[in-house]
Amino acid sequence: MSRIGKMPINLPQGVSVNVSADNLVTVKGPLGELSQDVDPNISVKVEDGLLNVSRPNDEKENRSKHGLYRALIANMVKGVSEGFTTEQEFVGVGYRAAVTGQMLEMSLGYSHNVVFELPKEIKAEAKTERGKNPLLIMKSHDKQLLGMVSSKIRSLRKPEPYKGKGIKFVGEVIRRKAGKSAGKK
């Protein structure tokens, strides 16, 4: 039995789950609404404020999808009740970020500013403090979308291993390399 798949999901106050006949799970909460198609072999049941995900047998395909769909639904429940946040740090001289509405304008050392349009589900805020690297804080109820957008922003200027310049997540450890001068003695 899948350790993740067999754990029940607690439904917080104000969160409702609807499972349709064609296995479409819809989760509504104070922060928004999310839906996910679930494989027909996986059954989802809501009982007494708990949501249980189960599989019919121990075939390899059913075992692999059991924990997956339980984790996806758990992320949906957490997203519509609490939400998710990512923080990215812009490390480098002259690297800046500014948010106006759903447009993110970044200065990343290129000859031009990079303009990135954020999806409407994501709320962004740019913080700039004197003596610290600029921060981009993004919040959303959709964990998958938030991860994709923050990964796309990071890919615009990945952290390089020699000086550590680039866009990195707060708390991310970048493996540093010694430069050319370290090898000569």
pLDDT digits (tens, 9 = 90+) for 88-123: 999 999 999 999 999 999 999 999 999 999 999 999
Beta carbons within 10 angstroms of residue 82's beta carbon:
13
pLDDT of res. 3: 83
Which DSSP letter does residue 165 get?
-
Q: How far apart are CA 132 and CA 113, in angstroms?
A: 21
Task: Name all domains of the chain by residue range, CATH numbers in brackets.
Answer: 9-81 (3.90.930.12), 84-169 (3.90.930.12)
Residue 183 has pLDDT above 80, yes or no: no
Q: What is the percentage of the chain residues whose pLDDT exceeds 90?
A: 77
Strand order in the sheet with 103-107: 96-100, 103-107, 114-117
Q: How confident is the model at residue 185 (pLDDT cuts 50, 70, 90)?
A: low
- 134 vs 139: CA distance, rounded Å: 17
- pLDDT tens-digit readout, 50-82: 999 999 998 998 988 999 999 999 999 999 999
**Contact criterion met (CB below 8 Å) for 149 and 119:** yes
Q: Distance of CA 129 to CAs 73, 89, 133, Å?
A: 38, 12, 7
Q: Is the pLDDT of residue 145 over 90?
A: yes
d(CA 147, CA 111): 27
